[in-house]
Amino acid sequence: MMTEHLKLISSVRCFEGEQRRYEHLSETLNCTMQFSVYLPPQALKGESVATVLWLSGLTCTDENFSAKSGAQRVAAQLGLALLIPDTSPRGDQVADDDAYDFGKGAGFYVNATESPWVDHYQMYDYITKELIELAHVQLPLNGQLSISGHSMGGHGALIMALRESNRFASVSAFAPIAHPSGCPWGVKAFSGYLGDNRETWREYDAVELLRAGKKCPPLLVDQGSDDNFLAEQLNFTLLKEAVAEHGVLAELRLQKGYDHSYYFIASFIEAHLQFHSRYLKR
C-alpha cells in the first residue's frame, strides 16, 4: 500500500503555503479517491508539521472545507497541515442511493457490512489506516495528529477519537451527530450499512462509546442554537450528559444565533485550530 502513487491534481498558493488536491487508488475502498491537503509555509521550507484531520458532513466532498472555512490563514500562522478526505467512496461502480443522506456523499465513516455497500463503503478503515498512513509517508507531516469535523463529520471525528484515543492529541466538532443510533439520519445510515442488529451500531456512536467508558482526548464542541437540525438529529444534550458523567476534559459550547452552515464553521474555526495547536505542540 505504501508504494501507492499520489497524483497531484491541483495546487494553489495560499497564505504562503499550498492548497493541494491529490488522487489515488484506494485499496480499502476499491475505487479511485481524491483528498485535499493544506501545507503551511513551514512545510514548504522543509519542516515536518503536525496535522489536523478534517471530516466533512453530508453531501460534501474534500473541497467544501478548503473553499469555505477560511482555515488556511490560521493554519499557516500555527504551522499546521490540514488533511481533508472525501465523505464516501466514488465512481460509477460504487453503489449509490437517490437520497442526499445515504450513499455517495454520505458514508457516515463506518465500515459497511451489508450488501451492496460492503464492497466499497469502508470509510472508517480508509481514513484511520490507509489515508493517514499514506499522507504521512508521502507528505512532510511529523506524525502528530488531531481530528475535527462538522455534522456527519463531527460524528466521524468523535468516534475515531474515542476508538483511537492514543492516535489523536485532541478532538473537536461543529454540530456533531452525537448519538446517531437515536436520530433519523443515523438510524437510516446504520440500518443500511450495518444491518438491523443495534449492538453493532454502538461502535459508531459517540454517546454510546462514552457511556461504555472509552477514553477521550481533550474535546471542544461548538453547537449553534439556531441550527435547524439541533432538536431532531444532533443530540447535543445527550453528548453533554455523557461527557459530564465520565469526566472528559471537554468544553461544549452553545453558540447563540448560529446555524448549521459554513458561516458557523468559519466563525469559530480559528478557536478550534488554536485549541488543537496547544495539544499538538506539547
Question: Is residue 282 over pLDDT 90?
Answer: no
The total of other beta-carbon atoms located within 10 Å of residue 100's CB is 11
Nearest-CA neighbor of 95 among 70, 80, 114?
A: 114
119 is catalytic: no
- Whether residue 1 is contained in a domain is answered as no
Q: How many structural domains are present in the chain?
A: 1
- Whether residue 66 is contained in a domain is answered as yes
24 is catalytic: no
| Residue carrying C-alpha cell 444532533 | 234
- Whether residue 44 is contained in a domain is answered as yes
Task: State pLDDT tens for residues 194-251.
Answer: 999 999 999 999 999 999 999 999 999 999 999 999 999 999 999 999 999 999 999 9
- pTM of the complete model: 0.97
Task: State pLDDT tens for residues 142-167.
Answer: 999 999 999 999 999 999 999 999 99
Q: Which of 120, 150, 179, 260 is catalytic?
A: 260
- Whether residue 88 is contained in a domain is answered as yes
151 is catalytic: yes
- Whether residue 26 is contained in a domain is answered as yes
- List, in order, residues 6 or more apart from 164 with CB less than 8 Å away: 128
Q: Which of 227, 272, 276, 277 is catalytic?
A: 227
- Whether residue 120 is contained in a domain is answered as yes
- Whether residue 107 is contained in a domain is answered as yes
Q: What is the per-residue DSSP string for 16-47?
A: TEEEEEEEEEETTTTEEEEEEEEE-HHHHTT-
Identify the domain containing residue 107 by its residue range. 7-281
Looking up residue 119, the CATH number of its domain turns out to be 3.40.50.1820
Q: Which of 151, 170, 172, 277 is catalytic?
A: 151
- Whether residue 52 is contained in a domain is answered as yes
